[in-house]
């Protein structure tokens, strides 16, 4: 089973990204479970979202403690909660303008840190700093858990029609940016 933890703030779309990934892998004939975890619902408060992916039906509905990938939608959330429970070889994808080398994940055996300016790309394409779809593109480029085509299908079923085209463009541009950097 592949387990992914999304670290964001209320209103950034962490749960939407988790759900889009889940829908995409279902298009690939896999099982998925996506769900949020948050306290008081307010914009800007730290939130977690989770995606589990497996070839068999998923019955575990508990929070993801040990993860294969941690995605950080807001660099200010970096700290112990992001570093906790990273499996050996985990990927950590951070929305930042800083290079990966400045982040210390030496406590995680064989962790790979990937950085991308998701905010800058979102501002360029959407005109708003919504980083969930670009980080989904970065995850897809770094892990190949699913394909862009499957995520396009998920966008078509989950997002309002008026934002689909721009989000697909943003997804593809972020995917290509990360692929070129790897």
**Residue 135 has what pLDDT?**
97
- The CA distance from 75 to 116, in Å, is 11
What CATH superfamily classification does 2-181 receive?
Pyruvate-ferredoxin oxidoreductase, PFOR, domain III (3.40.920.10)
CA 182 to chain centroid: 17
Label residue 179 exposed, middle or buried (CB < 10 Å: 0-12, 13-18, 19+): middle
Tell me the pLDDT tens digit for each residue of 141-174.
Answer: 999 899 999 999 999 999 999 999 999 999 999 9
Per domain, the residue ranges of the chain are 2-181
Please report which confidence band the pLDDT of residue 45 belongs to, taking 50, 70 and 90 as the band edges: confident
Q: Where is average pLDDT lowest: 14-23, 38-47, 49-58, 68-77?
A: 38-47
């Amino acid at each position: 089973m592949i387990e992914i933890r999304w670290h964001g703030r209320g209103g950034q779309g962490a749960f939407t990204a988790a759900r889009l990934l889940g829908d995409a892998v279902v298009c690939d004939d896999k099982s998925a479970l996506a769900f949020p975890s948050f306290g008081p619902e307010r914009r800007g408060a730290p939130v977690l979202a989770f995606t589990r992916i497996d070839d068999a039906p998923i019955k575990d509905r508990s929070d993801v403690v040990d993860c294969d990938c941690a995605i950080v939608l807001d660099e200010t959330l970096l700290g112990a909660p992001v570093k906790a429970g990273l499996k050996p070889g985990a990927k950590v994808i951070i929305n930042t303008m800083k290079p990966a080398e400045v982040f210390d994940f030496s406590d995680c055996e064989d962790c790979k840190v990937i950085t991308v300016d998701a905010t800058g790309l979102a501002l360029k394409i959407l005109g708003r700093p919504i980083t969930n779809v670009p980080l989904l593109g970065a995850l897809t480029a770094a892990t190949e858990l699913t394909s862009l085509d499957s995520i396009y299908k998920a966008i078509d079923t989950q997002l309002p029609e008026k934002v689909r085209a721009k989000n697909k463009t943003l997804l593809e541009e972020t995917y290509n940016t990360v692929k070129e950097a790897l």
